[in-house]
Amino acid sequence: MKWFLILWAGPIALLGSWYGLSYYDMSFGFFMLTRDAHDLVFQIYGHILGIPPEDLPPLVLRAIIVDSFLVLGIIAFRRRRKIAAWWQARRQSAPAALASDESLSSAP
């Protein structure tokens, strides 16, 4: 599961870092981080897909959000027994906590 999360989060972090740095032209001397490279990459992808380059970033963001929900769903499904046990313990301890709060508030 750890490798699954690393292999999911690694490319997202790399893409997000590249996008942020190249969008604001913080190149640190690397061509790939310049705004020119940023625009060129999106022009190439836009040409390949047949859509305007300015439509690509929202589509990529939407894909990342959908993938994130899918990954979180897989994690929740794999840990459903632990989550259910935690929820049950929480529900059983809640009346005791409420009773102790009421006894404190009714004290003079």
Residues in the chain: 108
Note the pLDDT of residue 102: 54
Cα–Cα distance, 18 to 107 (Å, whole number): 60
Note the pLDDT of residue 62: 97
Print pLDDT tens along the chain (108 aa). Answer: 788 889 999 999 999 999 999 999 998 999 999 999 999 999 999 999 999 999 999 999 999 999 999 999 998 888 888 888 888 888 887 766 555 555 555 555
Note the pLDDT of residue 84: 83
Note the pLDDT of residue 105: 56
Helical residues (DSSP H) of the chain, grouped into ranges: 2-23, 35-49, 56-78, 80-105
Note the pLDDT of residue 44: 97
25 and 40 Cβ atoms separated by less than 8 Å: no
Buried residues in 46-70 as b, exposed as e (16+ CB within 10 A)? eeeeeeebeebeeeeeeeeeeeeee
